[in-house]
Amino acid sequence: MSNFEILTPNICNTTGIMSSYTSAFNTSTLWDRKPLNILSLETTAATNFQWAFDTTQTVDRMYLQNINWENFGIWFWTGTTYFNPSLTSAATGTADWAQNSVTSLYLKFASTLTTTRIRILLTSATSGDVRKIGQIYAGQHKFTFANNPSHSQYKAKLSRSKASNQMASGGDLTTVFGDAYNARISMMFQSTTMRDNLKGLYDSATSFVIVPYPTGTSWEGDEAYLVNWVGDFNKQPAKNEYTSDAWNIDMDLKEVAK
């Protein structure tokens, strides 16, 4: 199991930079982790969709959530041609799948990529096939936790937002609006490097993506959240005398509103 990773916010985050080559695909919620969008193909023709950025973007991580794609590829534009980048964290060595069977993929590229366009091509469609995608992310890795928090050190939950009214019959009528990720991570005996990474993250006062257990070929938990660090930066030596691996640090995180 891989260690927690901290990533930059998603660069694939608006319909204004996206083009889709089918009229049956709603692209507006591809950066919301909860909805499951459905693409229906009536022919066996290939289908692709693309992000075209105004400026050059740097990418070394992508993830796909809630997919049922078997045959597809991810392509990056070099300025003259498209290519499938190499991977270090998937069942295939490049970003091209012939018989994918997993529903979510966390992808680490073998090198840092710069591009102005990212394209996903779905091929070999069966007539009448239904294809699904919950979320697509592209961005950069900031740092990886030196070690994962233990069960007692990682307290996470999805907090549901709802409205309830008691009816004349005595029952409740409840409308559920959504849920949001909240977590406290209490890290003990952290190195000065981890302390400085976390302090830099706190000082930035900007949103970031946290990925618990980002396993590549079988993504444990299928979790990734855009969050803010909402608490204070609490740090103290873990021992009476300072050593290089002796910092206790707490993180209080809340998911960004959608």
C-beta of residue 73 within 8 angstroms of C-beta of residue 95: yes
* Least confidently predicted of 19-23, 153-157, 168-172: 19-23
- Tens-place pLDDT, residues 159-200: 888 788 888 887 888 887 778 899 999 988 888 899 899 999
Q: Which residue has the tokens 């995608």?
A: 133
- Tens-place pLDDT, residues 219-248: 766 789 999 999 888 777 766 555 555 788
Rounded (to 5) percent helix, strand, coil in the chain: 5, 50, 45
Cα–Cα distance measured from residue 85 to residue 119, given in angstroms and rounded to the nearest whole number: 12
First to last CA, the chain: 29
pLDDT of 172 reads 84
What is the overall mean pLDDT for the chain?
A: 83
Residue 35 has pLDDT above 60, yes or no: no
Average pLDDT score over residue span 33-44: 54
Query: Which tokens sit at 23?
Result: 């009229």
* DSSP H/E element including 199: helix 192-204
Backbone angles phi, psi at 142, to 5 degrees: -95, -55
- Tens-place pLDDT, residues 206-222: 999 999 988 766 676 67
CA angle centred on 194, ends 1 and 230, rounded to 5° = 90
pLDDT: which is higher, 43 or 117: 117
Backbone angles phi, psi at 187, to 5 degrees: -105, 135
pLDDT confidence bin for 21, thresholds 50/70/90: low
Nearest alpha-carbon partner for 74 in 105, 118, 34, 44: 118
Average pLDDT score over residue span 55-69: 90
> What domains sit in the chain, N to C, each tagged with a CATH number?
5-143 (2.60.120.260), 154-255 (no CATH)
